[in-house]
Amino acid sequence: MQDLEWELLIEGFGKLEAPCLDLEGRLCFVDRTAGHLLRLEPDGSTTFLAERTHVGGLVAHVDGGLVASGHTVSVVGADGAERTLLEPGHAWGFNDLGTDPDGRVFVGRFDADPLPPVSGQGGSLWRLDGDGAAHCYDGVQLTNGIGVSPDGYRLYHNDTTPHLVWMSDLDESGMPVNRRHLYQFDDESPDGLAMDEAGCIWVVLIGSGRIVRLSPDGRIDGEFRGPRDWTASICFDGDDLYAVTFGGAPYDPDHTGAVFRARPGVKGAPVQPARV
């Protein structure tokens, strides 16, 4: 396992999730403990963007602001105003999300509260289109990290409870088909996911402190030590890899939630802003 040189950028938070870059290349993330969407500034301070609970995924929107998950999927504007894109219906809410090259949004839905004792009792994956249409496939237990290959031909999706990374082809309409296992971990739980420019899949194994690089054919192509055992999610910014962690009980009583940065020696794949 390789040790990366992790630089601590800021700490003092609770349960951090959903790192992403906004249109200006600034790192945004959420403190789920406080229910705050935040932006990291060049001077190391943070700017409060909005109050929103249960956010598991963020991505920049082409018109500014962020698309955020939670009990709904919504565009959160620069002024904090929200525009709802998708309601949960009979389900509990939404988690990680990502975009394809056309700016359509893939987002995972929880049937029930993802926290114990009901965690892992059903989920689904949805695609949101620019015309407002929503499409679904189900059969997921605990939906988590989502990424699309740089060429736009494959979708990768973590399923935490069975320790799986799913792989699907994207057909001519951009819908996932031919879903199959890319990789199944023995006893570690895949959480966050990011893509690099070579089309490899970076998977965060929460609770173990490992970050694994998987090749598109399902081989482990690299193993890295995360900044802390409770590293939850990652995102690339060119040569840089950002990681966010859970802090405080019951996760890591000795640390607060924090943001770290490292240079793993590969570039990340660009993430397209949402166009929904």
Q: Tens digit of pLDDT per residue, the chain (276 long)?
A: 788 999 999 999 999 999 999 999 999 999 999 999 999 999 999 999 999 999 999 999 999 999 999 999 999 998 889 999 999 988 889 999 999 999 999 999 988 776 655 555 678 999 999 998 889 887 888 889 999 999 999 999 999 999 999 999 999 999 999 999 999 999 999 999 999 999 999 999 999 999 999 999 999 999 999 999 999 999 999 999 999 999 999 999 999 999 999 999 999 999 999 999
DSSP assignment string, 30-85: EETTTTEEEEE-TTS-EEEEEE-SS---EEEBTTSSEEE-SSSEEEE-TTS-EEEE
Distance between CA atoms of 195 and 32, rounded to whole angstroms? Answer: 24
In a domain, 87, yes or no: yes
Tell me what pLDDT residue 119 has. Answer: 56
Cis omega before residue 42 (within 30°)? no
pLDDT of residue 268: 98
Q: What is the pLDDT of residue 90?
A: 86
Tokens of 218: 């399902």
**Does 141 reside within a domain?**
yes
Q: Is residue 207 part of a domain?
A: no
The CATH number that applies at residue 140 is 2.120.10.30
pLDDT at 121: 63
Residue type at 242 in one-letter notation: Y
Q: Which domain holds residue 190?
A: 2-199+215-261
Number of domains in the chain: 1
Is residue 3 exposed (0-12), middle (13-18) or buried (19+ Cβ within 10 Å)? Answer: exposed
Asked, for residue 266, whether it belongs to a domain, the answer is no
The answer to whether residue 173 is domain-embedded is yes
Q: Is 204 contained in some domain? A: no
Q: How far apart are CA 114 and CA 123, in angstroms?
A: 10
**Using CA atoms, how far apart are residues 107 and 141, in angstroms rounded to an integer?**
14
* pLDDT computed for residue 116 by the predictor: 57
Residue 205 lies in a domain: no
Query: Do the Cβ atoms of 163 and 116 come closer than 8 Å?
Result: no
* Residue 77 domain-assigned (yes or no): yes
* pLDDT number for residue 110: 86
- pLDDT confidence of residue 115: 62
| Distance in angstroms (rounded) separating the CA atoms of residues 134 and 243 | 30
Per the listing, tokens 């289109």 go with: 129
**91 to each of 95, 199, 264, how far by Cα in Å?**
12, 33, 38
